[in-house]
Amino acid sequence: MAVPVLALRDVSKRFGATQALSGMTLELFPGEVHAVVGENGAGKSTMIKVMTGVHEPTSGTVEVDGQTVTLSGPRDARSRGISAIYQEPMVFPDLDVAENIFIAATDLGLVQRKGLLRERAAQLIARIGMTLDPDRVASGLTLAEQQAVEIARALSQDVRVLIMDEPTASLSAHEAGRLRRIARTLASEGVAVVYISHRLEEIFDIAHRVTVIRDGRHISTRPIAEVTPQGMIAEMVGREVGNYFRKDASHATPEVLLSVRGLSQEDAFEGVSFDIHRGEVLCMAGLIGARRTDVALSLFGIHPATGGSIAWKGREVRVGSPREAMALGLAYVSEDRRKLGLAMPLSIRSNVTLATLGKVLTRWGLVREGRERSVTNRYRERLNIRMADADTPVGKLSGGNQQKVMLAKWLETEPQLLIFDEPTRGIDVGAKAEVHDLIRDFVRGGGAALVISSDLPEVLALGDRILVMREGRQMGILAHEEATQEAIMRLATGQEAAAA
Amino acid sequence: MTRLSPGTLRILALLLVLVLVGAFFASQIDNYLNARLFNRISSSVAIVALIACGQTLVILTRNIDLSLGAIVGFSAYATGALVTTAPDLHPILLALGSLAIGAGFGLVNGLLVAYAGVPSIIVTLAAMAIFRSALVEFSGAQSITTDDLPQWLVDFPNLPLFTVAGLQFRAAFVAAVVIVVLVHLALTRLRPARALYAVGSNPDAAEMAGIDARRTVLAAFVAAGALAGLAGLFFLARFGNITVVAGLGFELKSIAAAVLGGVSINGGSGSVIGALIGAVLVDLIENSLVRWDVVSEFWREAVLGLLILSAVTADALLMRRLTRLRIRREKAAAPATKEATP
Amino acid sequence: MMKTLGLAALLATSATMALAQAKTLTPGQEVDMVLLPKFLGILVFDQAHEGAQEAHAELQNPGELLFQGPTPENSVAGQIEIMTTAGTQGVGAVMLSNNAGDQIVPAAQAAAESGTKIVTWDSPIPNGEGESVFIAQVDFEETGRVMADMAHEIMGGEGQFAVLSASPDAANQNAWIASLESVLASDEKYANLELVETVYGNDQSEESYNRALALVDSHPDLKLIMAPTTVGIQAAAKAMQDEGLCEQVKVSGLGLPAEMASYSLNGCAPQFALWDFRDLGYLTYQVAYGLATGQLTGEEGETFVAGRMGEYTIEADPGREGAKRVLMGPFTVYTAENVEAAAN
């Protein structure tokens, strides 16, 4: 083959005591989709940052077209045709779509010509097969649309290497499919695409070659034809993982814990009705914009519902605040760990006891550190949280471990109904299975769970019943036996009228 | 039905608040609404508007400049000293001189904030004290007096350019408005200026997108300093008598004007036209309070703060109501066609 | 202008006889002194400094004369801080133009206890505590009468006028305004002068300027703005001139000839008054030096010779119970006739 457009040669990167990359080697050729897989903390992010010039390698070299280069920063990388798009899109909420795309363009002159900008934006958007009004302000865009803006921005300059870091983690299956088509189209036009994802089925759908990394080291690079899912997972985790997505028998009891009728909220959703039984996992599926999180937020009292009724153990209640919800026995494990879930700079133990401070306080209102530590250590064992000690700031943990800390915090409130919002988004395969086991353990022990997830295999693996929403409306509830990916998608996209 | 942009909507909401405040004071104070009120407000707004405009540029990048008042004072004194020693200096050169003095101070702030990475509130808080002390030192505790100034400069602020229905449009006010409009056009039309919004609304993304965030922040501080420098010249022309207290408190007034004018204190959104109207609003409230005998001297500052707070709150509520109305109307106009069946 | 020095020198040795006899200060003794104005950056304080420097040279004090003041926005806290520092450093005397009201008292008392003499000038400590003596530029009662007379003459004996002061807690300003009010009430002559409002410009040009205009807006029949502050009178005069209101509303008060000359000549400010701030600084230094070197005791009735300015006596302050003062005086009233000569 020809000269790689971008190559890492024996690259190491050290942050203080942490060795993030050691001897990493990677070659990217024009026209390939190159998947990079690895558990969280394997060094993928660091590798991307070396490729985009954010970090300079401690040792080793970066080559562009066979020439050793020093990338001074993202701007330099971009000028050499290397762009990256991230799971959390980097858009400017106050600018419109066209401006977002061309914000850093250098060839458009000093004075902004609105017409020209709009026209060229429309061309780029069309090239990636989207429909998006260039005049729309970015703050109103969905995640998928924001990602489209980022891709268009990358394309606005001569892009030769496009790094996509978990681009589909927040997208619905429909949107993710479209994004994969875009990636393949770009590759066929000669771009080298680096594709990072936790969804194995995606990788088999799209990649030409797969590189597995673990603990900052290169493990293998193979053509996709020579790779099997089991083999790949084994390489990622360094051990065999059995029963990745298994659905065990339902533990649902006849006792109705929560009963919701005609729940609605102005400008968000309406007519949501369901029961959750003790011992049951009810999954909520739907596309982005289906307003599932809004339903959860209203159940937990953060944005109280404006219509309908909620009954808890047969008694009608009004949930006006999270405090009231917690008093009933509800807990909400949020999707956005940063915003609603964890206090990142605080220690693990402070986070674990945050919702239950009363339990670890002395009579005089002082925190008993010892008690905090023992509580934290109990969960560390039960949830298999990998941490140095209980005083480490939560922000330093990997995504999967952060998720477990958050779960520990809510389990400590001894809830009867746990609401999970995208519990495994952005965490690796091994941790995913562990979280699933924890949810199953929880309901087996007499609790109930409401799980919001956009990951269809997960929904099928966990849900005793599956409630599907679309644009603020409940489209139907499927029993586990009748649920398939196709059936769920038909409801979620509105191709089928409400059943059940 | 024309579609109003959120920016236009905000300006309209602000004008409504302005009218409400005016109407309130008109009901309280005799002889209130007349040409004289317009002259008073327009003359003092000429100075504050420039500073608020500069402050807006800085706030857009998620920073703040507390030293602008001190820059106004220094520039007023320095240009006064300059024109006293060289009375025949061409007006254009004098104006350029004031811009350069302010830009110099802005450069110091900008370098420290953008390249040394010190938070702007700390840099400019220190700069406020340092610049003001520098003025005390530089002036040797002497004052500039009106007699020292050339006649054209003294006449400039009050020179009526044209009169509409008894309302005088004076040179300084017209000049300030022209400058604000020019800055507004630059902000909306010049591509490098759009980077201010990008840096302010998402600094990480700006860096990733290849924008030189540091240079952008530096530019904002330099431009703000330059505008404050020019405001210093206006200050000199209007008040004539310049002591070391000149421009004291303008930094807070400019922040109030910008925030009232809808500039988000978190950066990334707002317009200098809004800041101009904000400046008018602050000045209107201040001017009217002095004449409202219900409020005693000792409570005036508190009432001023309270009124500004209520104006901001009223504006925010109004804004939310209007935005919701607009979204609803859009929804009604365009039924759900987003996710068309494939 | 002076009494016979010989006689004074002869009798100065007798402390018991000092009540009636003027003491002469012996030069050449070393004592560090601090001149502490309200804040830096105003011409009159600089003039006071010049006067103090003159006396410093004349008395051949080998010690230091420091001119230390706070920045304007930090006046109160800054004055307290400088006072505290001066006390702990064992400075011989602090000459204070007080802008901190009674808030300065704890710092002043602490300094006095550690041996520093506190001599106030221009503006005293209202309750007199911690202060040795106040050098009063003019009699506060006289200030009221001078202002009332200027108002009477400019307004032709009748009409509305307003006061534009500095800050609401400046002791000298408040005392003068109080005295003006009592003079107005005391004499039938002023019966038709109506004081409609008192406003404050905080000795800032722009604030004073705007307040002056607001006064005109609030009181359509206003004939005069009386500003007993050099910043205020100048700003008010400029405001009236800028808005073409000089025919209708006149300006008067306490002002510096150098700053006010043009307004006197064009009729915006036909009369204003002031004392000499250089003399005030000079006299203050003389008293502070005498107290700090122990040559003066600071008791009531003590008489001394203050260099070129002649003989003065320490007396009870009629405006402040229990406090003492040295009265300098007198006023000079400036008009179009004499202002130009004084301005140079």
Cross-chain CB nearest to C40 (options B40, B136, B291): B136
Averaged over C179-205, what is the pLDDT?
90
Which residue of chain B is at minimal alpha-carbon distance from C67? Answer: B141
Is residue B53, in this structure, part of any structural domain at all? yes
Burial class, C156, CB count within 10 angstroms (exposed 0-12 / middle 13-18 / buried 19+): exposed
Q: Do B268 and A94 touch (CB under 8 A)?
A: yes
Is residue B205, in this structure, part of any structural domain at all? yes
All residues of chain B having their beta carbon less than 8 Å from the beta carbon of residue A91 are: 202, 205
| DSSP annotation of A361 | B
Identify the three-state secondary structure at position B86: coil
Is residue C335, in this structure, part of any structural domain at all? no
Is residue A336, in this structure, part of any structural domain at all? no
Q: Do A103 and B198 touch (CB under 8 A)?
A: yes
Is residue A335, in this structure, part of any structural domain at all? no
**C-beta of residue B262 within 8 angstroms of C-beta of residue B9:** no
Q: From the centroid of its chain, how far is CA C123?
A: 6
Give me the pLDDT at residue C164, please.
95
Higher local confidence (pLDDT), A312 or A354: A312
| Tally of domains within chain A | 3
| Listed residue (B225, B244, B246) closest to B102, CA to CA | B225
Interface A–B counts its CB contacts (< 8 A) at 76
Give me the pLDDT at residue B192, please.
83
Same domain assignment for residues A44 and A157 = yes
pLDDT tens readout for residues C122-136: 888 888 888 999 998
Higher local confidence (pLDDT), C317 or A19: C317
Q: Do B210 and A79 touch (CB under 8 A)?
A: yes
Averaged over A443-452, what is the pLDDT?
92
Same domain assignment for residues C132 and C187 = no
Same domain assignment for residues C128 and C179 = no
Q: Do B190 and A112 touch (CB under 8 A)?
A: yes
Neighbouring chains of C at 3+ CB pairs under 8 Å are B
- Note if the bond before C330 is cis, omega within 30 degrees: yes
Same domain assignment for residues C172 and C254 = yes
Q: Do C45 and B39 touch (CB under 8 A)?
A: no
Cβ–Cβ contacts within 10 Å for residue C343, how many?
17
Same domain assignment for residues A347 and A490 = no
Which residues are within 8 A (CB) of C56 and not within 5 positions of it... i.e. 6 or more apart?
Answer: C33, C65, C285
Which residue of chain B is at minimal alpha-carbon distance from A131? Answer: B338
All residues of chain A having their beta carbon less than 8 Å from the beta carbon of residue B327 are: 267
Q: Which two tokens stand for residue B262?
A: 């809808």
Same domain assignment for residues C300 and C254 = no
Give the side-chain half-sphere CA count within 13 A for B15: 7
Same domain assignment for residues C270 and C144 = yes
Residue of A45, A92, A158 best to disrupt the B interface, most CBs of B under 10 A: A92
Interface B–C counts its CB contacts (< 8 A) at 107
Is residue A338, in this structure, part of any structural domain at all? no
Which residue of chain B is at minimal alpha-carbon distance from C201? Answer: B297
- As a whole number of angstroms, the distance between CA C319 and CA C309 comes to 24
Cross-chain CB nearest to B241 (options C217, C234, C261): C234
Is residue B338, in this structure, part of any structural domain at all? no
Last residue of a domain, one of A237, A255, A271: A237
Structural domain that includes position C323: 5-137+276-329
Same domain assignment for residues C145 and C124 = no
Q: Do B143 and C259 touch (CB under 8 A)?
A: yes
Cross-chain CB nearest to B291 (options C204, C217, C242): C217
Give me the sheet containing C250-253, strands edge to edge.
C193-200, C159-165, C222-227, C250-253
Last residue of a domain, one of A185, A209, A237: A237
Same domain assignment for residues C298 and C281 = yes
Same domain assignment for residues A357 and A383 = yes
Structural domain that includes position A365: 343-412
SS (H, E, C) chain C: CCCCHHHHHHHCCCCCCCCCCEEECCCCCCCCEEEECCCCCCHHHHHHHHHHHHHHHHCCCCCCEEECCCCHHHHHHHHHHHHHHHHHCCCCEEEECCCCHHHHHHHHHHHHHCCCEEEEECCCCCCCCCCCEEEECCCHHHHHHHHHHHHHHHHCCCEEEEEEECCCCCHHHHHHHHHHHHHHHHCHHHCCEEEEEEEECCCCHHHHHHHHHHHHHHCCCEEEEEECCHHHHHHHHHHHHHCCCCCCCEEEEECCHHHHHHHHHCCCCCCEEECCHHHHHHHHHHHHHHHHCCCCCCCCCCEEECHHHCEEECEECCCCCCCEEEECCCCEEECCCCHHHHHC
Give me the pLDDT at residue B1, please.
37
Same domain assignment for residues A68 and A20 = yes
Give me the pLDDT at residue A239, please.
53
**A471 close contact with B: CB closer than 8 A:** yes
Give me the pLDDT at residue A467, please.
94
- What mean pLDDT is reported for chain C? 86
Sign of the torsion angle spanned by Cα atoms C103, C104, C105, C109:
positive
Give me the pLDDT at residue B296, please.
76
Proportion of chain B above pLDDT 90, given as a percent: 38
Q: Do A108 and B211 touch (CB under 8 A)?
A: no
Is residue A334, in this structure, part of any structural domain at all? no
pLDDT tens readout for residues A58-95: 999 999 998 999 988 888 898 899 998 877 778 888 88
Q: Do B238 and C209 touch (CB under 8 A)?
A: yes
Cross-chain CB nearest to B191 (options A73, A78, A108): A108
| Tally of domains within chain C | 2
- CATH assignment at residue C226: 3.40.50.2300
Which residue of chain B is at minimal alpha-carbon distance from A84? Answer: B208
**C-beta of residue C280 within 8 angstroms of C-beta of residue C286:** no
Give me the sheet containing A307-312, strands edge to edge.
A315-317, A307-312, A256-265, A269-277, A473-479, A465-470, A281-286, A448-452, A417-421, A330-333
- Weakest mean pLDDT among A42-46, B176-180, C305-309: A42-46
Q: Which two tokens stand for residue C92?
A: 């011989």
Q: A261 phi and psi, to 5 degrees?
A: -130, 120
Give me the pLDDT at residue A243, please.
47
pLDDT > 90? residue A275:
yes
Q: Which residue carries 């050449």 as its tokens?
A: C28
Higher local confidence (pLDDT), B319 or A432: A432
CA distance to partner chain B, nearest, from residue C137 (Å)? 21
Touch between A and C (at least 3 CB pairs under 8 Å): no
Q: Which residue carries 């401070």 as its tokens?
A: A357
Residues in chain B, overall count: 342
pTM for the complete prediction?
A: 0.73
Touch between C and B (at least 3 CB pairs under 8 Å): yes
**B243 close contact with C: CB closer than 8 A:** yes
Averaged over B1-28, what is the pLDDT?
80
- As a whole number of angstroms, the distance between CA B64 and CA B127 comes to 12
Give me the pLDDT at residue C320, please.
83
All residues of chain C having their beta carbon less than 8 Å from the beta carbon of residue B145 are: 234, 258-259
CA distance to partner chain C, nearest, from residue B303 (Å)? 16
| Tally of domains within chain B | 1
Same domain assignment for residues C247 and C287 = no
| Listed residue (B177, B193, B160) closest to B279, CA to CA | B177
| Listed residue (C208, C225, C247, C266) closest to B239, CA to CA | C208
Same domain assignment for residues C94 and C114 = yes
Q: Do B210 and A494 touch (CB under 8 A)?
A: no
pLDDT tens readout for residues C193-223: 999 999 998 888 888 998 999 999 889 899 9
Same domain assignment for residues A153 and A96 = yes
Is residue C341, in this structure, part of any structural domain at all? no
Structural domain that includes position B123: 46-271
Neighbouring chains of B at 3+ CB pairs under 8 Å are A, C
- CATH assignment at residue A476: 3.40.50.300
**A158 close contact with B: CB closer than 8 A:** no
Provide the b/e sequence for B236-252 (b: ≥16 CB within 10 Å).
Answer: bbbbbbbbbbbbbebbe
Give me the pLDDT at residue A495, please.
64
**B145 close contact with C: CB closer than 8 A:** yes
Is residue B323, in this structure, part of any structural domain at all? no
pLDDT tens readout for residues A96-123: 899 888 887 777 777 877 888 889 899 9
Give me the pLDDT at residue A18, please.
66
| Listed residue (A170, A407, A439, A450) closest to A284, CA to CA | A450
Same domain assignment for residues C175 and C108 = no
Tell me the pLDDT band of B338, cut-offs 50, 70 and 90. Answer: very low
Q: Which two tokens stand for residue A256?
A: 């109705």
Q: Which two tokens stand for residue A185?
A: 């189209």
Last residue of a domain, one of A412, A427, A442: A412
Same domain assignment for residues A83 and A183 = yes
- As a whole number of angstroms, the distance between CA A451 and CA A467 comes to 10
Tell me the pLDDT band of C10, cut-offs 50, 70 and 90. Answer: very low
Same domain assignment for residues A230 and A248 = no
Higher local confidence (pLDDT), B205 or B169: B169
pLDDT > 80? residue A267:
no
Which residue of chain B is at minimal alpha-carbon distance from A138? Answer: B201
Same domain assignment for residues C281 and C184 = no
Q: From the centroid of its chain, how far is CA C217?
A: 31
Tell me the pLDDT band of B323, cut-offs 50, 70 and 90. Answer: low
Is residue A1, in this structure, part of any structural domain at all? no
Higher local confidence (pLDDT), B195 or A399: B195
Same domain assignment for residues A131 and A86 = yes
Neighbouring chains of A at 3+ CB pairs under 8 Å are B
Same domain assignment for residues A272 and A150 = no
Same domain assignment for residues C43 and C9 = yes
CA distance to partner chain B, nearest, from residue C40 (Å)? 6
Averaged over C259-269, what is the pLDDT?
90
Is residue C219, in this structure, part of any structural domain at all? yes
Is residue A486, in this structure, part of any structural domain at all? yes
Q: Which residue carries 């508190």 as its tokens?
A: B302
**B204 close contact with A: CB closer than 8 A:** yes
pLDDT > 70? residue B342:
no
pLDDT > 70? residue A337:
no
Q: Do B245 and C41 touch (CB under 8 A)?
A: yes
Cross-chain CB nearest to B191 (options A75, A90, A110): A110
- What mean pLDDT is reported for chain A? 84
| Listed residue (A420, A471, A374) closest to A281, CA to CA | A420
Q: Do A90 and B208 touch (CB under 8 A)?
A: yes
Q: Do C205 and B244 touch (CB under 8 A)?
A: no
**C131 close contact with B: CB closer than 8 A:** no
pLDDT > 80? residue A383:
no
- As a whole number of angstroms, the distance between CA C279 and CA C135 comes to 11
pLDDT tens readout for residues A219-260: 999 999 998 877 887 787 665 444 445 567 788 889 999 999
Tell me the pLDDT band of A288, cut-offs 50, 70 and 90. Answer: low
Give me the sheet containing A18-28, strands edge to edge.
A18-28, A6-15, A59-64, A67-69
**C-beta of residue A311 within 8 angstroms of C-beta of residue A276:** no
Q: A475 phi and psi, to 5 degrees?
A: -95, -20
- As a whole number of angstroms, the distance between CA A88 and CA A146 comes to 9
Is residue B215, in this structure, part of any structural domain at all? yes
pLDDT > 80? residue C169:
no
Cross-chain CB nearest to B291 (options C72, C214, C259): C214
Give me the pLDDT at residue B3, please.
56
